Structure 1
Amino acid sequence: MIDDIFVFDNVIHLYDLSEANIRRDRADARPVLEQTLAEVKDLRWKGYPLHDDAQFDWGRRWNVDDMYDLVFRQAPTDMAMAQVVPMFDWFTDWYAPVTTQHQMAATYPDRVLFCGGVDPMLRGLNDALNQLDYQVNELGARSLKFYNGHAKNGDCWRCDDERFAYPMYERARDAGVRVLQFHKGNPHGLQNVEFLSPLDLQAPARDFPDMDFIVHHLALPYFDEMVSLAARFPNVYMSLAGYMAFYRIAPRRVQHHLGRLLQVGGADKILWGSEAALAGCPAPYLRAFMDFEIPDDMRAGYGYPQITRDDKKKILGENFARLMGIDIEQKKAEFAGKAQCSESTVATL
């Protein structure tokens, strides 16, 4: 916990950026990977020891020990969800593979939940449904992640497509999975950004009222559209998904966005997400969030509410725990006496 607040990280990824996982049949695979690594390098907060590029090889296959140390020992995280990134454009075994995400949850079942991921355009809808069944029924996936935008237009699909998307939602619901998650905005490489607009989630959110839809990255650059969806649909939520990394670079932008989210959607609709590993260790971002306030001039000029400690409790853990059926007080009792953060990390925070 941080300042006695339970931290449930909505999204961590055990990426596989190794040479073995890069597709040899795609000439753009290596340039896109290098571009991605350069972008996240600029976002990781400088001066934090675990963000030193001289010490860490970020472009590799992340393993369970690496991730546990980064997220739990070096940061005050209590629980997290390891999420598959079902992106096949440049990778032979997904961007964040099923195997390693499941291994993380299987190794630390008290602290980590497994989020699976499928794509109907890889080997067809039937294969995606079979994979969905396997991930939920055999591997214990508690949620599913979708990435409908791709580098080739022919590989893209809409989240409101009743031919491809709805059968996956229905299969997930039949298997007992009620929380679906979507990468929106934040395109990679030369992907068409319009396929990553969140507007195609309106129909599913309306047609599946008994399911919850989590949208990552605030759907930037579709922020206004995303705020509208979250405000209007009771089952649509937003994951910060590494967003606090921007706070040191562009604090006014983050203050504006969070102020708007609190004003229109409310704290109940926001989930904490670190986006570790590539965003770096969650520790400095968590501290920044705990110290975060909406400036007086923005409150006066835009009517934004001040963020409260209760808001932070909801965002850091309570909201996602509610969606996933986790009893925080029970978890606190379970974890009592089990030290996670190193003493040096606690002192830093």
Structure 2
Amino acid sequence: MYEKDGEKYFVVDSHTHYWDASPANWIAGQEQYAKGWIDCFHAYQSLGPPETHWSIEHFQKYSADDYTKDVFEDGHVDHAILQSTYLKDWYTTGFNDYDRNSEIAALNPGRMTVNGRWDPRDGDEGLKAFEEEHKKHHFKGVKLYTAEWKGDSRGWKLTDPEAYRYLEKTRELGITNVHLHKGPTVWPLDKDAFDVSDVDHAATDFPEINFIVEHVGLPRIEDFCFMATQEPNVYAGLSVVVGGLMFARPKFFAKVMGELLFWVGEDKITFGSDYGIWEPKWQVEGLVDWDYPNDDYSDYPRVTVDTKKKMLGLNAAKLYGIEVPAECQIADPAEPAAREDAELVAGSPA
């Protein structure tokens, strides 16, 4: 829990990782891709404050103790959600698969949620495996990587017929949260495979599922905002937005946040540090202190303490059924993704 100026913030970091990208985990013959991937991630870390930068060796494989200290002890996080990313074409045991993530979750009981994943290119066998995994782990969410390479395939779309089969199974199993990487390209993946254009089609057809678009489709921020405002079950995940822009590009950060607040609304924005690319401590503290830099941004919604409480934890807590202490709640919070409350711009005249 983070406290500032008498206000208490319950923090849910809804986008974290516990990866192993060390050379020992690189698949023979795929080293250039395994190395290029983690080097690209490491370059993104340079967008944060200099004192938070890690050596490449530490960045490739940090320990469970590092995670616990950086996220929970120092990072002000009350509950963390681990997103599973496999990339098993490049990493022998995967980049950070469910089994690896479960190890660290076991060390922090009650404080972590581990999400599953699926890939529609795995066909019938993958569908059966996903169902069996859910029976064992009771997933509340999944993380999808539409740009992930698999054999000769260099990505897929939510609108693919096979993807719809998996979404139907996700709905059938009662899994309500689907996180999508739709944002900056990570080498060597293809930019077009991260496009947000397939999200609204699926969101309309699966209204029972919340689609949390991580990285808000950057650099396609306008495309995302205009799509998300019409789809009440589409959320904006702030991973990369805060870590990548708040320190390095403060003016652009203000524009992105303003667009999100204007079109998507404060009830549909969730915080994610994207650890271990960036540590949550400076992001949480910076977001609590943040406001627009000047009157040039006066046509965007104002940012209040309640706005920040929702974004930092309350919205994600509702999506995942996480209990929030009474002292961190706000008066009469709006329900996220309520269809009857959806409108083009909050408070706009009819």
1:76 paired to 2:69: no
**TM-score normalised over the length of structure 1:** 0.86
SS at match of 1:326: coil
Q: How does 1:1-349 map to 2 (within 5 A)?
A: 1-3=1-3, 4-26=8-30, 28-33=32-37, 35-48=39-52, 51-53=53-55, 57-60=58-61, 62-121=62-121, 124-151=122-149, 154-162=153-161, 164-245=162-243, 246-279=245-278, 281-300=279-298, 303-329=299-325
Could you tell me whether the CA contact under 8 Å between 1:8 and 1:320 is conserved in 2?
A: yes
CA distance in 1, matches of 2:321, 2:58: 36
CA distance in 1, matches of 2:54, 2:193: 35
CA distance in 2, matches of 1:53, 1:148: 29
1:222: how far off? 1.4
SS at match of 2:288: helix
CA distance in 2, matches of 1:25, 1:126: 29
Distance 1:211 1:52, change over 3 A: closer
Stretch of structure 1 that moved more, 130-139 or 180-189: 130-139
Q: What's the % identity of the aligned pairs?
A: 27
1:276: how far off? 0.8
1:263: how far off? 1.0
CA distance in 2, matches of 1:299, 1:155: 40
1:284: how far off? 0.9
Q: Please provide the CA RMSD for this pair.
A: 2.2
- 1:267-286: CA deviation from partner (whole Å, max 9, x where unpaired): 1111000111122x211111
CA distance in 1, matches of 2:232, 2:328: 28
CA distance in 2, matches of 1:134, 1:86: 18
CA distance in 2, matches of 1:118, 1:213: 15
CA distance in 2, matches of 1:170, 1:140: 17
**Gaps (5+ residues) in structure 2?**
330-350
CA distance in 2, matches of 1:187, 1:197: 10
CA distance in 2, matches of 1:34, 1:272: 23
SS at match of 2:115: strand
**TM-score normalised over the length of structure 2:** 0.86
Distance 1:170 1:107, change over 3 A: farther
Distance 1:139 1:331, change over 3 A: farther
Equivalenced residue count is 323
Could you tell me whether the CA contact under 8 Å between 1:180 and 1:213 is conserved in 2?
A: yes
CA distance in 1, matches of 2:32, 2:293: 43
SS at match of 1:232: coil
CA distance in 2, matches of 1:174, 1:316: 30
Could you tell me whether the CA contact under 8 Å between 1:63 and 1:100 is conserved in 2?
A: no
1:227: how far off? 0.7
Distance 1:119 1:21, change over 3 A: farther
Could you tell me whether the CA contact under 8 Å between 1:256 and 1:298 is conserved in 2?
A: no
SS at match of 2:87: coil
CA distance in 1, matches of 2:328, 2:269: 22
